[in-house]
Chain A
Amino acid sequence: MATQLEILVNGKLHRVEATPDTPLLYVLRNELNLLGPHFGCGLAQCGACTVHLDGAAVRSCVVPVSAVVGKRVTTLEGLADTYPASIAKTDEPHLHPVQKAFVQEQAAQCGYCTNGWIMTSAAFLKENPKASEAEIREGLSGLKCRCGSHMSILRAVKRAAHDMAQE
């Protein structure tokens, strides 16, 4: 049975109606119109649906919506706001350093999987600010990109790690 649930997404409390076992992904996309996370497999194999749950990267296609009640959900749309704005120059939009690095390195082809790489990298670099290239590769090994944008993505994540260390 559909029930009313209150979930905290990108700093705002939302009341949604869904059965408790509905994967969070469908609630975000269809109820809250947050379209950053994408459906890729529904099996937690590709990462296209990644969001942050209390700051940790999780795959929203397998997280029941009821499991996020009382926790903080962040989507790609809200990622920048989780990062201090001190570095943002006034004439630039406020982007998370990972997003900024992805723009600078042109790190996408079709961009369908991009959400997963950005959200996973942001969580990973927060936990591992001094990660080596080998550790970054390992940390991102669970993500898929079908177009083969890996080289530019790797450059972008390394650039973001460097930029974040400078701050």
Chain B
Amino acid sequence: MNPTKSESNNWSRRDFLGNTGALVVSFALPIPGNAQPGATAWPTTVPPEMLDSWVAVRSDGSVMASIGKVEVGMGISTSFAQIIAEELDVPLQRVAIRMGDTATTVDQRGTGSSNGIITGGPVMKKAGAQARQALVAMAAQRLNVPPEQLTVIDGVVSVVGDPSRAVAYGELIGGKRFDLPVSDKVKVKPASQYKIVGQPVARMDIPAKMVGAYSFMVDHKLPGMLHGRVIRPPEAGARLLGVTADQSFPGLVKVVTRGDFVAVVCQREEQAIRAAHDLKLNWSKPAPMFAGSYDELYQSLRSATPKISSVVMNIGDTQTALSAAAKLVDVQYEYPFQSHSSMGPGCSVADVHPDGATVWMGGQKPYGLRKAVAELLNLKNEQVRITWLPGPGSYGMNDSDDVAIDATILSQAVGKPVRVQYSRADGTEWDPKGPPITMHMRGGLDATGKMVAYDLEARGYSGRVRPSGTDTPGDSLSCQLIGGMPVGGTDLFQHSEENYQFPNKRKVSHILPWKKSLITGLRTAHLRDPDGPAMCFASESFIDEMAVAAGQDAVEFRLAHLSETRDREVIKAAAQRAGWDTRPSPKPAQKGPVVTGRGIAYSPRAGTMVAIVAEVEVNLDTGRFRVTRFVVAHDCGFVINPKSLTGTIEANLIHAMSRSMHEEVRFTPSRVTSVDWVTYPIVDMTEVPDVVDIVIVNNRPQAKSLGAGEPTTRPVPAVIANALFDATGVRIRRVPFTATSLLAAFRARV
């Protein structure tokens, strides 16, 4: 394997970092693959059944592991390096990870659903173990001793008891292929012998990020590269009637129009920005497509005829139990459109030529995109290479795939490499949005305060109107504006997870039609923990309401209805660390205007368990509040890297707190009006808690490693709402909890 140019850059960057003494942990930055100039045939798929597809050992003994996942900023590249280093018995510093390149890494569907470790971990473990086994076999032959008499220390195989008889990995294989099929039977290292996996290793990508040496998608440049910008319709559904004639702009190479898609390509980036801003276009005046307000939107979600419905769970006879209940609670919860609004708006570079195309993208799913690009350009899959480069945090289906298609369209139009970076508005107004949901909750208590019925009826748009990958070009915004291409998209029922034991329990999901939104900034897609924060907001707030109705403590009420050990353990761990004061809510006898309170919420997510306690301080006169402390109990089984996990949990908390406090996409009947950080406000440094306490539960080598990328997000809106109720006695049933909405709620209380 010859290092490509881009790798060489990375190696030299590694050399710089490699001399950084105590601060440097490793050179295992995720190494993006790179197109080799002139190459026009790439493998249809990198064969998953061959060991060489996963791991390579260079002559200097350094190891390159390849994986079809990407690093979205939570440190998973370091975790993969730990796993490989552990199984191969090489120092962590000698491992590099290559990720998300369709030409050199196996198609593992990219990253998503917090499944990086679940689906990527075991395969890395086996590849490392098998490579070690093969290398030891080679050493046995070289040293003429049976493999059982050999040991491996830091990538050097030696004879047990005679360390002078030794050979290094690099000498054994350096640069050559293993040429072995992947074996399922290979024995991996017993967890009891782990020295690297499970350790709080510093993330390898961090040092480069602090000195400006980490290569992001936005940094990628090609010789002769031009700069493109798109111009989106001024109103949802507006049709392009024409481009005003005789316009000229400095550096303009081409105005590209296809259907309602419009873009400019210029020599320089600032020229493209100026031309996109100044270009005069004629658009039609469409009929309004959106509701006039969130009140109107939620009303329509509750009243419109669903496209499809599903009874997701039905235990006992909920309707009868509700009718017979001693106490009935019947309430509505509401969760808005939210935006990914990645820190950097989408960016991509595409190089389309007659016999092939290479596209560099910063999103989570390069493999699906390859098919879409091939289809768009009428090329074969093997003529297209998609190479992931680190983007800003993406949190699901942000704008990265859309911009990659834009760069492709523009490079094809001008026959040169084109870089597109979106404007802030392109990223905030036009990114795919998390869908709004209304949740009708009903519950009944018996005379003893035991919960006997739970009924959840969710109504909203599918989170996959815009699919979670781009397998066909019609899934992208620009191709929808071009028109005439088939679109994917599926109806995904809202999903809620909890393990409460109620004798009567029903969950119903209604999906309302929303496909008309595909050409707008309100098309719905996966946003971090799709539907999870909304559904948990309703369910876990509602359990709190039932505890209040029963006059019981929120922790005790939950434990009384949960029997699964792991659910109970996280709740107990969070309450214990928080110093939970057992009593019913709200907190009694507080004098305003500043009051305090605490709440709890919990949720499973695909096997991972999270419970959170929040403490809040609320000003009843202003409606402003602050979470002063979060306590998180987190059980994702055996933790590969506790240090990365802590950072990921903290960041999930703050991101989800931002969504709970501030975030709703604004719109008028004719367009999205959230276009920047003023019109789509997020959390700032003055608002974050004083303290975050994290308790890791069930972190044992025997416990299966589960996902941690987003489970902490899920209970956050609910736990804040529960703490707000405890402090104020006012139940907030709509996200976000802005000062204006809280103040209105406080004043409405009689």
Contact = CB atoms under 8 A, between A and B. Distances in A.
A115 B209 CA distance: 8
Contacts of A153: 685
Interface in B365-396: 390-393, 395
B535 interface: no
Interface stretch (B135-143, B278-286, B486-494, B647-655): B647-655
Interface in A39-64: 39-43, 45-46, 48
B628 interface: no
B423 interface: yes
B685 A137 contact: yes
B343 A48 contact: yes
Interface in A137-166: 137-138, 140-154
Contact of A109 (B273, B423, B647, B658): B647
Interface string B650-690: 11111111100000000000000000111000111110110
B74 interface: yes
Contact of A149 (B250, B647, B676, B684): B647
Given A77-B211, A151-B692, A45 B677 contact: yes
Contacts of A42: 273, 423-424
B354 interface: no
A114 B209 contact: yes
Interface string B323-352: 000000000000000000111110000000
B683 A112 contact: no
Contacts of B22: 91-92
A23 to B, nearest CB: 7
Contacts of A109: 73-74, 393, 647-648, 651
Given A110-B73, A152-B650, A38 B216 contact: yes
Contact of B391 (A23, A40, A110): A110
B203 A106 contact: yes
A7 interface: no
A114 B212 CA distance: 9
A77 to B, nearest CB: 5
Given A38-B218, A48-B344, A111-B73, A146 B688 contact: no
B72 interface: yes
Contact of A30 (B19, B269, B678, B683): B269
A102 B656 CA distance: 23
A136 B19 CA distance: 32
A108 interface: yes
A103 interface: yes
Contact of A40 (B212, B424, B657, B686): B424
Contacts of A12: none
Interface string B206-239: 1101111011101100000000000000000000
B390 A39 contact: no
A146 B655 contact: yes
Interface string B249-289: 01000000000000000001110010000000000000000
Contacts of A151: 650, 653-654, 688-689, 692
Contacts of A93: 16-17, 19-21, 23, 211
Contacts of A26: 268-270
B205 interface: yes
A92 B23 contact: yes
Nearest to B650: A151
Given A43-B424, A140-B685, A146 B392 contact: yes
B658 A92 contact: no
Contacts of B657: 148
Contacts of A145: 343
Interface residues of A, number: 61
A91 B21 contact: yes
Contact of B655 (A34, A46, A118, A148): A148
Nearest to A30: B269
B416 interface: no
A100 B23 contact: yes
Contacts of A112: 216, 342-344, 391-393
Given A109-B393, A109-B647, A154-B688, A148 B658 contact: yes
Contacts of A29: 219
Contacts of B393: 109-110, 112, 146-147
Given A89-B21, A109-B647, A95 B211 contact: yes
A142 B677 CA distance: 11
A111 B23 contact: no
Nearest to B398: A146
B739 to A, nearest CB: 16
Nearest to A34: B212
Contacts of A141: 684-686
B72 A110 contact: yes
Nearest to B630: A151
Nearest to B25: A103
Contact of A144 (B21, B343, B648): B343
A149 B688 CA distance: 10
A48 B262 CA distance: 28
Nearest to A41: B424
A154 B19 contact: no
Contacts of B395: 146
A113 B682 CA distance: 14
B342 A146 contact: yes
B421 interface: yes
Contacts of B391: 110, 112
A76 B688 contact: no
27 contacts: A18-B270, A19-B270, A35-B218, A41-B676, A43-B676, A45-B678, A48-B343, A77-B211, A80-B211, A92-B20, A92-B23, A93-B21, A106-B206, A106-B647, A108-B73, A109-B647, A110-B392, A111-B206, A112-B216, A112-B342, A112-B393, A146-B393, A149-B651, A150-B683, A151-B650, A151-B654, A154-B685
Given A36-B211, A112-B216, 4 more contacts: A77-B211, A106-B647, A112-B344, A150-B685
Interface of A: 18-19, 22-23, 26, 29-30, 34-36, 38-43, 45-46, 48, 75-77, 80, 89, 91-93, 95, 99-100, 102-104, 106, 108-115, 118, 136-138, 140-154
